[in-house]
Amino acid sequence: MIKVINVVGARPNFMKVAPIVEAMKRREREFTPLLIHTGQHYDADMSDSFFRDLDLPAPDIHLGVGSAPRAEQLAAVEARFAPVVEREKPDWIIVVGDVNSTLACARTGKKLGIKVAHVEAGLRSFDASMPEEANRVETDRVADLLFTPVEDANENLLAEGIKAERIRLVGNIMIDSLMKHLERAQQSKIKTRLGLTTNDYAVLTLHRPSNVDDPKAFKRILEALAEISRRLPIIFPVHPRTKKNIAEFGLEEGIAASSGLRLIEPLGYLDFLSLFSGARLVLTDSGGIQEETTQLGIPCLTLRENTERPITVTMGTNKIVGTDPDKIMTHAAAALANLSRQPVSIPLWDGHAAERIVAAL
């Protein structure tokens, strides 16, 4: 019997861990999975919604770390996670993605002599200013087994001197959740609640510090959004960090003047999947949405200067537009003028990544 601690720390982790836990439960004679929530990002209503939407069991242990600056958060997760590992004595610790909890729990496993597997390994933006990039690089260095979503991730790891026997190309775990829940998401009433009677709308997510902590960058993005929203409504589920900065920077009046920019509260997984999967256009500074929109053939404009998911640009529907208003508006106009929608086929983005991960373990 293989005992595995699966770590979640923030909402993007839930979609990646859920298929893995499910795959382990299907092989219950071989695996004993435990689910640990560090509480890095924690909102009871939102977390409960994501666990319910993803059919994810309640965490076996909740560390309750809460929000804090990066260095403090890393230290707090390590301090609270170590006693759990020492008590449970797992064979493996699985960490996913690139949040602070990912790195902290990988470090803890390494220090305590427990094998660590990193799901979504090898992704690189080559932007050292991003905290997520630092988390990705160090996690990959300490992990024993690196599960990659695409071939270029393998190439990144090999170029960094990581031995090939530590690397397994398994495909994209986010697509497992997307494919499982897409039909169910269509039963959501979110579009009805928002009064959206057609698919002629866009969806926006915006939360990166480089965008929303910098008043100049934030205002440049809003300038472009105001113009795009003259063409079609932009539905904007507002991240708490973004909401706080809108108030601090005095941006409420300008946003209110853009009647087509509709700010709403954050959504659960199924509601958000229903919303963006029907959109004409998605604008985002997130990572996973670049992959999901590629899979579904939805035009996506990434409001960053780089991406750790370049395959979504080379093979998919993603365009990197940064924060220049003219560039954003030009690419938005081009996307809206193209009425075709072609889903993209990428090797191993087939809904079976979790099965390959569990088989490798």
User: In this predicted model, what pLDDT tens digit does every residue of 200-228 receive, in sequence order?
Assistant: 999 999 999 999 999 999 999 999 999 99
Q: Is 207 a catalytic residue?
A: yes
**Looking at residue 42, what is its pLDDT?**
64
At residue 338 the predicted structure's pLDDT band, cuts being 50, 70 and 90, is confident
Pick from 24-28, 68-72, 149-153: least confident? 68-72
Measured between alpha carbons, how far is 93 from 352 in angstroms, rounded to an integer? 20
Give Cα separations from 323 to 230, 246, 282, 314 (angstroms): 19, 17, 15, 21
Amino acid at 97: G
Query: Given a cut of 60, is residue 50 above it in pLDDT?
Result: yes
Q: Which structure tokens are listed for 4?
A: 């595995």
Is there a common fold for 2-172+349-360 and 183-337?
yes
Q: Tell how far CA 259 is from the center of its chain.
A: 29
Catalytic residue among 41, 118, 207, 331: 207
Rounded Cα distance between 270 and 21, Å, is: 19
**% the chain with pLDDT above 70:** 98
Residue 44 has a pLDDT of: 61
CA gap 257, 336 in Å, rounded: 23
CB 230 within 8 A of CB 260: yes
Q: What is the mean pLDDT of the segment spanning 30-39?
A: 96
The beta-carbon contacts of 271-274 under 8 Å, at least 24 apart in sequence, are: 271/185, 271/188, 271/190, 272/190, 272/237, 273/178, 273/181, 273/182, 273/185, 273/188, 274/185, 274/186, 274/187, 274/188, 274/190, 274/191
Q: How many CA atoms lie within 13 A of 170 on its CB side?
A: 29
Residue 47 predicted with pLDDT over 70: no
What are the residues facing 61 on neighbouring strands? 36
Which CATH code fits 2-172+349-360? 3.40.50.2000
Look up the pTM and report it. 0.95
| Contact between residue 227 and residue 329 where contact means Cβ atoms under 8 Å apart | yes
Task: Provide the pLDDT for residue 43.
Answer: 64
116-170 pLDDT, tens digit per residue, is 999 999 999 999 999 999 999 999 999 999 999 999 999 999 999 999 999 999 9
Query: Which is more confident, 339 or 186?
Result: 186
**DSSP β-ladder status, 261-264 and 234-237:** parallel
Closest CA to 125 of 136, 113, 109: 136
Pairing of strands 115-119, 145-148: parallel
Give the three-state DSSP class for 273.
helix
Q: Express each pLDDT in 348-358 by its tens digit.
A: 999 999 999 99
Distance CA 190, CA 151 (A): 36
Does residue 191 have a pLDDT over 80?
yes
- Band of the pLDDT at 99, cuts 50, 70, 90? very high
CATH superfamily, domain at 183-337: Glycogen Phosphorylase B; (3.40.50.2000)
Domain limits, the chain: 2-172+349-360, 183-337
